[in-house]
Structure formats: C-alpha cells, structure tokens
A and B are shown apart, each in its own frame.
Chain A
Amino acid sequence: MLPITRKIGISLLALGLLVLLCEVGPGQAQVSQIWTETTEEDFASGIGVDTISVDIRTSPGDIILAEPQENFAFGKSAEDGGDGNASYPPRNLLDENLATFWLSKTQQPLGVSIIVDLRAERLIEQIHILGYIEIFRIRGYRMSVSLDKVKWVTVAENPDNPTMNVFETIEPTVARYVRVTIITIDQVHAVAISEIQVFGAGFAAQGSYFSEAKDFGTLTNFGVATWGAEFPDPDMDITLQFRSDSVQVLNDGGVLEDTLKLANEMAELVPGSEVVTDESEMILYNRGFDYDIDYQKGLIWRLETSTIDSAALIMVDYSLWNGWSEEYYSDPDSDPDSTLFRVTEPRRYLQYRANLFTGTINTPKLKEISIKYSTSSLAQRALGTVVPNEVPIMKESTVTYLLQFAFGPTNLGVDTVIVLTPSPARISEIRLNENPLTGADYEDFSTREKIKIGFTQPILADSTATLEIDFRTTLFLSLNAYPAQIISNDTPDNPQFVEQGEATWVISTTGIPTGPLVSVEAKPNPFSPNGDGLFDEAFISYFVAKIAYPQPVSVKIYNLNGDRIRTLRDQKDPAFSYEIPWDGRDDSGDLVSPGVYIYQVRVNTDSGTEVVTKTITVQY
C-alpha cells in the first residue's frame, strides 16, 4: 500500500501557546486571532475530560490511536458456513465469556472452518483457541489468515493436539480474516470451542479525543478551524467536531487551599466522588466520575492549577452545553484541512473533539489544530425566528424572518445577513425596528439556496435592534429550517452564526401528501415538435415533497412496448418543484414519430419507490 503522508502545511507555532495574529482593518485593530495547539503538553492537558482509545504520549505532539493489547476478535464477527449447531452460534467465540461456546453440528466436523472477521487489517502475532470441555476439544487444527477472504496463508498447523486450550504464536502477519479449520476428529465427539482470540500489534479501529473547555476569556466569535493531519494509509480518517458555551466558573484562581476546600465541598454534594491530589503533576482531578458517561449526562469537574499557590476550580456542566457540531472531515485534496465550523456564538468556551478512524494496522495522526477567532463579536446575541411556524405545503406563503440583535459597546455590527432557505425565497419587504427599508438601504444578493442581504449602513445600536425580512416561498418539506449567519465587513471570513430563537426557525407544513411525488403532469399535451414555434416542447412538471435529503429521481419516456426511448432526468434531487422539458427527441437525438408515448416519473426513497405513469402525445 502506498503511504499517503500529508505534510503539515502550516508552520508549527512555538510551543503551542496562544499566538495572536493581527489583522488591521479600517478603524479596527486585532479583530482576528489564532489559537493553536500542537505540543504534547497541549494535547495532554485535555486528557482530563474524556478520551477513548487515543494516545498522546507515545507520539509527542500528536494525537494518535491507542495500541490496546486487546483481543482483536472481541466483539467482532465470525461465521461457520452453517456447520455449527444453531443454538451455539459462532458469535459465542468472540464474547470473552468462557461459559458460552460454539458447537459443531455433527460428530464428524472434519474440514469445518470458522472464519473470524477482525473488521480491519491487523498485525497478528498470536491466535488462541480456548476449549469448553476436555473431551470436546479440537483434536487437530489449521490456522490460516487472509486479507481478502480469498487468498489464505497457513500460519499454524497441528494435526494431533493433546490440549484443550491452544496458544499459537505465529510469524507476525497482516490480515483481516482468521480461519480455524478442524483437521482431525475422533468420530465420537463433536467439537466445542469457547473462544477464539487474536492478539498482535496495531491500533484501535477508532478513538476520540476530547479537548478541555478552552477559555477564550470573553464572548468570542469562532471562525475557521485548521488542522494538520498525517495519513500513512488511504483507509483512514480524522473528523473534528466542536461545541461552545459559557461555562460557570466557581473559583477563578485563588490559593490552593481555598480551591481544595471548595472542591471537597462540591465532592460532598455528589455521591461517590472524591478529590484526589496528583502531586507529580500538580493537577487535581475529581476522579469520582466515569468521565465517559458523565460528559454526556452532566457534571464534569476539573480542578486546575498552574502554580502550587493558586488554583481554579471550574465546574462545567456539559449537559447544558450546546450539542456537538457536525463532523468536519479531512479532505484528501486540502493540506492543511480548513473549515469554517459552526457552533453557537458568541461564547466564551470552546471544546473540540477529534475522531480518529483506521482500517489498517497504522494510525492517523492529528498533529496540530488552530482556530481562528475574533473576540470582537458582531453582536452579543443574534436570535433568529420565523413567523408563522406553520404553512400549507406546496402553496406559496408569506413568511417573516425575525432577527433580534443585542449589542454591546465592543460589537462590530452587521453588514450582511444570510439565511439558508430550504425552498427559494423572494423578498417582499425588509423592516429595521419596524421601519421599512428602501432599495437604497440594502442590496439583495439572494439565490435559490439562500437569502443574502447586504446593508449600506451596518446594523449597530446601543442596545437592541430588530430586523424583519418578509419573503414569499413555496415549501415542499414537512419541516423547513432557516439557520442564519451575520457578517461584518471587518471580519468577512468569520461570520457569526445566529442562534435559534425560542419560537424556532422551523416551519412545519400542513396538508402533507401521502407520497413524495405530487401533481405530475405534462404540458402542452399533445405537443408538436415541428419547429413552427408553437408547442414545440413539452414540460413534464411535478413536485417532490417530504424527502429530507436528495433522493434518486428519474423521468423517462417509453413507447407502448415499454422500450425506453429517452431519459430526461436520472439523478439525486432534493424536495422541490420541477419542470423537465422534452424536445420530442429520443436518446440518440432523432425526433420521435407522432404517436402516444408513456412517461414515468420515479422517486426512490428510503421507505420505498413512488412511480407515476402517464401518457403524452406527439403530433406533427
């Protein structure tokens, strides 16, 4: 396999502390900054929150998957080709439970094989077969391994095995499948096996690293994340997720004794928790929790000290945090990876999570992560809401998008508003603080996918402002969300994501049809593709409704014998209204002869296929 090594395209910044990047804008200074984390210390400091199967110590400065000396076969899958007793299935071999076992179907299981799929390539060094009862032991076996289940390599063979448990150490071999074949039987006893275990080198197939909650000191508008990663093999991936909030700080600094006292008080409030002092690192962790569970459910405490004399106790209630963002993938074509990530903002704290995946014996490496941010946010708060929250489906409706801003003295103001629209929207009126704006006040850059309004003067006020955008739209989904972002000309690369208001930015629709395909018709019908300018083309129109994601839609023309003569459309389409023209020609470009044709519109959805079949007449 050809190793794909990705260089780190951004310079490694000195020992990973906060680095400031100054961007001097008109009348503004230092609006955009970069925070970078690269070193062992940086990554290691995050270990207190939660970490699953990742390792940050054997490869300093990198986040890599851990090398668990575990049984690779545990919890994976095995098959016996139907040669086992159905009551004792092959999965019993992989459950690390000696009380359960696999049993051959007959007393003559000669040649019967069990194949274990490790789900990823592993460097295999040992294969163990643990028996169930001495007399049912495997009397002769062959062990072979394979990468593809086609070509097998024999790694161990013993036709005369005297022991119930077998521990074979083999020549280290990379493989994904392990096969154990019974090659000797005693004709009297069936074969029972408790466990097949596979050991070797390699990395966990996946793992996640959760950073600590990074404190940005003030309400922050998070922007672009850039990360450098290394992928030795193609079958690997790293994804990043983010979440933000303003956590509660109980004791910001102070002497160690005070912090310790407070921590002990807090520990008393939570049953089963205690405060442990780790002298060597001068970091105090509350180890009374199962971090893995608690970061999902609620309280995580972190006691932190930078010197012996002072310490901070920070209580982070992650259950109140905004949810994790979508996963941002490493892009093989971009180096370093870079993405504008979406979290609720402005917020003071940010946490990231790196998810590492591998399908080989190697691990991907996350070498560095930088986050571009701005402590000068556009508004202290920006809330988006739609009115009404319910309209009829597939009928044009008027909707108002309400943006409520709260401004503080350091805010930059809003120059551009972008609202993503599930259906195309046509703006009819815009009001700022209930006063209608005129064409001179703004410019409309809207497209099919979004409303985009640029304002001549930035929206900025002493305290609050309200922007209302009236638009007409026709909706095709049962639920239609309108997330928004605002942009300042001072930080054009770092939009601030709008928060969803209490009345939500979701419109649900009424009168939803039973199927996803509605109002299929062809017009004009008949049509006459004779080039006289009158009805030379027909339009097959339909609505695709109710599908949340693009689904395969096809429009095809057939003759009366069911022979397809033209494919007008065959692709994944989102819910929308469509009008597909037919010029009366077949797939090879010839005009079809006059007559009656059949057209079929087909939508494949997860819940089935909907088809509408009608006729269209060509005359000329």
Chain B
Amino acid sequence: MTGRRRKKIVLLLLICVPALLWAVQAQAAFIDVGLGARPVGLGRAFVGLADDANAMLYNPAGLAHLERMELTSMYARLYPGIEDDKLHLGYVGVVKPVKGFGTLGIGATNLWADLYGENIFYLSYARKMSTGLSLGGSFKFLRWSADGYTDPEGLSELGHSWNGWTFDVGLLYSLRSEKLLRFMGADGLQLGLSVLNVNQPSTAKNGAEDAKLPIGFEGGLVYRRGNYKGLLSFSRRDDMSRLHFGQELDLLAQGSRSGSASFQIRAGAFKTLSEESGGELDFGCGFALRNALLDYAYVFPLALRDVGGCHKVSIGYTF
C-alpha cells in the first residue's frame, strides 16, 4: 500500500466522524457495556491499543499484531444492587495468527437477565498492510430473545427473538516519525480508528427504523514510554458520545505482555457527553505467569451509583 492510499483511508475514517454525531435514539440491544477486564480497566479507551484478544471487540485491526494464539474470557455481574433481576455479562474469544495470511479470531458475547438475553458472535480477520499500518474487520452475528408475558386476566403475548448481522472495520497505525517521538518524549505513538455496525440493521422484529443499531465510531491514541501506556479516545457508540481515558503501568516486565511474568496496574475513566448520562471510573490490574493471563477491573459507575459498582474478571491463555 502506498502512502497516498493510506492517507486516503485515514481521511475517509475521519470524515465519518462528524456524520455520526447527529443521530440520537436510545439504544439498548447490543449496547457496549464494557467487555474484557483489561479494556475496562483502561476506561474502554482501547481502540488505539488493541494489543490482545480483546481487539476483536474494539478494533479488529489490532489482531494483526498478535504473534501467538490467545484465548480470553470474561465474566461480570452488572449492577448487583438491582432488585429482582441479575444481569450477567460474559465473553469468550480465541485468536490465531496464520503465517503469511494474517490473524483470525472468533468470539461470542452473552448478556443475560431473567427475561432477556442477547449474543454477539464475532468472526474477525486482520493483517498488517505496510510499515506501521494494519487493517481488520469483524463480521458479527447478532441475536436477542425475550420471554413472553401473561397478565392476570390470562391475556398473553409470546416471547420474541431476532437474528441479524452487521460488521465492523478498523485501522491501527504506528506513528514512526522520529522527530515527533522525540518531541513527545515517547517510545511509541499509535493511532486507532474503528467503524462499528456499518450496515445499521434494525434490531426490531418488525424492522422499525427507531430500533436501528446505530453506526459506531471510535478513534483513539496511545502514548507509550518505557513501562507506561497512556490512552485517550473518543467514541460514538449506541448514539452516545463519550470521552475515554486510561493508563497502564507494567511493574515487572518491560513492554510486552507475554513475558514470562508481568504485573500491571490500570486506571481509566469515561464519561458520556450529555446531560444526566453515565460514565465510569475504572481500576484494574493484570497478572501474567508463563502463558496464563488474569485480569481484573473494578467499575465504579458515575450514574446509577445506588446499585453499586461491579467486578469484571478475565482469564486467558497464550499458546
């Protein structure tokens, strides 16, 4: 890929940003509720980093940089203080680099409550394009189902379910300018962009316009110096604009996560940019020993504080 084409792609993605900002509809199905204990610990500002198997969820282009096969998973119970219901969130994913071809990934998420459940199945592919640039995409199969209801008079409606599909595309670009890196005092600077739910399917059984899964956009930057990473991103998902911020400090190993042992601490936050909206403060840590990975994040919600924060735990393995 030539430098000119590369610039065109970046330009195209940047043009998408303002176009995404005007639509406003309340979205609940397939909403991003924070998957992966490590991205969550980083305030979900993961789009510019995307350096582990969670990349599938945030920016599939990041998969291109993985050198080993990796398995990851996560479980969380959201808002434990909610009465008469339990909201569970789970994720499993596997990625495998194939020499000379790129990286493949498959994954599945599951959100389930007493009366409702939804899944997203991911099929992702990414490859390095030229020095510093990689591209990726995910095909997503979506499904939700809900219970029926019968009122005391015997009037009843059966439960509905819906299946559909959409796809995401992403880009990751390492800035190589020595001048810039020196100016910033950085060992590395990386830019990530992703566009989500590109075809915007309606998630209603009757195809209602209002239930369209809105197109999403994330753009972010990573600053790396020594064992420190600082992340900043802007996202427009579920028709909500958010600012994200995260940082990670590697206390044992330098740089790479797949060293023989590493311990990281993380802190992050995001805030939805509208009146009376949500946001989070996130704190996390990660531990890797040989091939096993364990990540933890504590989520302190800025809205709905009465129902409490939640713990998110990921277990993974590199082969």
**Chain A residues in the interface with B (C-beta under 8 A):** 520, 523-528, 530, 534-535, 558-566, 586, 588, 590-598, 600, 611-615, 617-620
Q: Which of B130-138, B183-191, B200-208, B221-229 has 4 or more CB atoms under 8 Å from chain A?
A: B200-208
The smallest beta-carbon distance between A405 and chain B, in angstroms, is 45
B281 to chain A, nearest CB (A): 12
Cα–Cα distance between A617 and B302 once the two chains are bound (Å): 23
Q: Is B165 an interface residue (CB 8 A)?
A: no
Known: A560-B78, A613-B81, A614-B85. A593 touches B29 (CB 8 A): yes
A–B Cβ pairs within 8 angstroms, 9 of them: A559-B28, A559-B278, A560-B87, A561-B31, A561-B240, A593-B29, A594-B29, A594-B203, A615-B87
Q: How far does the Cβ of A187 sit from chain B's closest Cβ, in whole Å?
A: 52
Q: Is the CB of A534 within 8 A of B210?
A: no
- Choose among B30, B82, B275 the residue with the greatest number of A CB atoms under 10 Å from its CB: B82
> For residue B113, which residues in chain A have a CB less than 8 angstroms away from its CB?
596, 615, 617
- A597 near B274: Cβ-Cβ < 8 Å: no
Which of B3-11, B55-63, B142-150, B282-290 interfaces with chain A? B142-150
**Which B residues have a C-beta under 8 Å from some C-beta of A?**
24-33, 78-79, 81-85, 87, 111, 113-116, 118, 144, 146-149, 151, 155, 157, 159-160, 162, 203-206, 208, 210-213, 238, 240, 272, 274-279, 301-304, 306-307
Q: Is the CB of A615 within 8 A of B28?
A: no
Residues of B within 8 A of A598 (CB): 79, 82, 304, 307
Known: A561-B33, A593-B27. 18 other contacts (CB 8 A): A526-B146, A526-B159, A535-B149, A562-B278, A562-B303, A564-B275, A565-B26, A590-B25, A590-B26, A590-B210, A593-B211, A594-B144, A595-B30, A598-B82, A615-B85, A615-B87, A617-B115, A619-B160
Q: How far is the CA of A565 from the CA of B304 in the complex (A)?
A: 13
Identify which of B84, B151, B212, B272 contacts A561 (C-beta below 8 A). Answer: B272
Q: How far is the CB of B246 from chain A (nearest CB, A)?
A: 17
B206 and A593 contact, CB distance less than 8 A: no
- Bound-complex Cα distance A524 to B82 (A): 18
Q: CB-nearest residue of chain A relative to B113?
A: A596
A residues near B212, Cβ cutoff 8 Å: 593
Rounded to whole angstroms, the CA-CA distance of A534 and B157 in the bound complex is 7
Q: Please report the C-alpha to C-alpha distance between residue A548 and residue B121 in the assembled complex, in whole angstroms.
A: 54
Residue in B25, B26, B79, B115 whose CB lies within 8 Å of A613? B79
Least CB distance from A517 to B in Å reads 11
- Known A594-B144, A598-B82; contact A619-B159, beta-carbon cutoff 8 A: yes
Given contacts A526-B146, A526-B159, A591-B208, contact A617 B26 (CB under 8 A): no
Closest chain-B Cβ to A398's Cβ sits at a distance in Å of 24
Q: How far is the CB of B236 from chain A (nearest CB, A)?
A: 13
User: What chain B residues lie within 8 Å of A565 (beta carbons)?
Assistant: 26
Residues of B within 8 A of A593 (CB): 25-29, 203-204, 210-213
Q: Tell me whether B144 and A595 are in contact (CB under 8 A).
A: yes
| B146→A559 contact, CB < 8 A | no
Most buried by B among A588, A597, A619: A619
A175 to B211 CA separation, bound complex (whole angstroms):
62
- How near does chain B come to A414, taking the closest CB pair, in angstroms? 44
CA gap between A383 and B26 in the complex, in Å: 58
Indicate which residue in A535, A566, A613 contacts B82 across the interface (CB closer than 8 Å).
A613
